Amino acid sequence: MTRAQLLTAALLAMALAGCAGGASPARKPSAAAPRPGFRPAAPATPRSTIVVVPEVMAPAGLAGVIGSPAAALTSRFGSPRIDLAEGDARKLQFAGTTCVLDIYLYPVAAAEPTATHVAARLRQGGAPADPGDCLREVEQR
């Protein structure tokens, strides 16, 4: 064997030895029992202090959607296929025959979240679609 082959074999053996570590010994139960009435503190829920102001999409071909609250969108398009809330953001998804329309709502100036961005894609393959065309298709359903 050459020196390079020996070095490679040694490195491979060390890597495999690291993967084959034995099981850790069983933990012995603690001799000290918890005090009566002791309750561990609940973990704090981490909260972000970062505020991101969303950029409102230009409403070219999206009249009546951008700036609309969720109630207006559901009365116009019907029940959403997906209604997902994450933090103060919300996503409503509507489906047409050939496309899927995602409408993103964020609280911008009003207390109630309003539509600030629209994305459309084809149902088959997921390629980007024209949001205005998809909006009209979803509206006709």
SS3 of the chain: helix, strand, coil, percent, to 5 = 25, 20, 55
Q: What is the mean pLDDT of residues 110-128?
A: 91
Report the DSSP pairing between strands 114-122 and 82-86: unpaired
pTM check: above 0.85: no
Closest to 82 in 3D by CA, of 56, 104, 54: 104
- Is pLDDT at 119 greater than 90 in this prediction? yes
Beta strands in the chain (DSSP E): 82-86, 89-95, 99-106, 114-122
Q: What is the pLDDT of residue 118?
A: 94
CA distances from 125 to 25, 92, 120, 122, 129 (A): 51, 20, 12, 6, 11
Give the C-alpha distances (Å, rounded to integers) separating 6 from 15, 17, 18, 127: 14, 16, 19, 51
How high is the pLDDT of residue 28?
Answer: 53
> Which pLDDT belongs to residue 62?
81
Please enumerate in sequence order all residues whose Cβ is within 8 A of that of 130, keeping only pairs 6 or more positions apart, or say none. 61, 120
Q: Read off the pLDDT of residues 13-63 as tens digits, 9 standing for 90 and up.
A: 666 555 555 555 555 555 556 566 666 666 666 656 665 555 655 656 787
Confidence of residue 141 (pLDDT cuts 50, 70, 90): confident
Q: What is the pLDDT of residue 17?
A: 59
Q: What is the mean pLDDT of the chain?
A: 78
Which pairs from 103-106 meet CB under 8 Å and 24+ separation?
Answer: 103/65, 103/73, 104/54, 105/69, 105/70, 106/54
Are β-strands 82-86 and 89-95 bridged in parallel, bridged antiparallel, or unpaired?
Answer: antiparallel
Which of 3-7, 12-16, 37-41, 126-130 reaches the highest mean pLDDT? 126-130
